[in-house]
Amino acid sequence: MELYFLGTGAGMPSKQRNVTSIALNLLDERGTYWLFDCGEGTQHQIMHSPVKLGRTEILFVTHLHGDHLYGLPGLLTSRSYVGGDTPLKMFGPKGLKRFVETALEVSGAHLGYTLTIEELDEEGVIFEDDKFIVETARLEHRIECFGYRITEKDLPGKLMMDKLKELGVPAGPLYGKLKQGEQVELPDGRKLDGQDFVGAPLPGRVVVILGDTRYCEGAKRLARGADVLVHEATFSQAKQDLAYAFDHATSIDAARVAEEAGAKSLIMTHLSSRYQGDDVEELLLEAKAIHGDSYIAKDLWSFEIHRKMS
- Tell me the three state secondary structure of residue 253: helix
Q: Which residues 6+ apart lie within 8 Å of 299 measured at CB?
A: 5, 6, 7, 8, 9, 16, 17, 18, 45
Q: Which tens digit of pLDDT belongs to each residue from 199-235?
A: 788 899 999 999 999 999 999 999 999 999 999 999 9
pLDDT tier at 310, thresholds 50, 70, 90? low
Binding residues for Zn(2+): 63, 65, 67-68, 141, 212, 270
Q: Give catalytic status of residue 28 as yes or no.
A: no
Global pTM reads 0.89
- The strands making up 301-304's β-sheet, listed across from edge to edge, are 115-119, 88-92, 56-60, 32-36, 21-26, 2-7, 301-304
Residues in the annotated binding site: 63, 65, 67-68, 141, 212, 270
User: What secondary structure, in 3-state letters, does 172-187 show?
Assistant: CHHHHHHHCCCEEECC
So what's the pLDDT on residue 288? Answer: 98
Pairing of strands 146-152, 183-185: unpaired
DSSP state of 240: H
> Residue 150 — φ and ψ, nearest 5°?
-105, 115
Q: Which of 236, 248, 64 is nearest to 141 (CA)?
A: 248
| Residue 99 three-state SS | helix
**Residue 129, pLDDT above cutoff 90:** yes
Contacts of 169 (CB under 8 A, 6+ apart): 175, 178, 186, 192
Choosing from 67, 227, 253, 299, the catalytic residue is: 67
* Helix, strand or coil, per DSSP, at residue 80: helix
Rounded CA gap, 88 and 116, in Å?
Answer: 6
One CATH from 3.40.50.80, 1.20.1440.230, 1.25.40.10, 3.60.15.10 for 2-155+202-302: 3.60.15.10
Span 138-159, pLDDT tens digits: 999 999 999 999 999 988 778 8
Q: Where are the domains of the chain?
A: 2-155+202-302, 161-197
Q: How many residues does the chain have?
A: 310
190 pLDDT band, cuts 50/70/90, is: confident
Number of H helices and E strands in the chain, helices first, is 11, 16
Q: How many other CB atoms are found less than 10 A from the CB of residue 159? A: 17
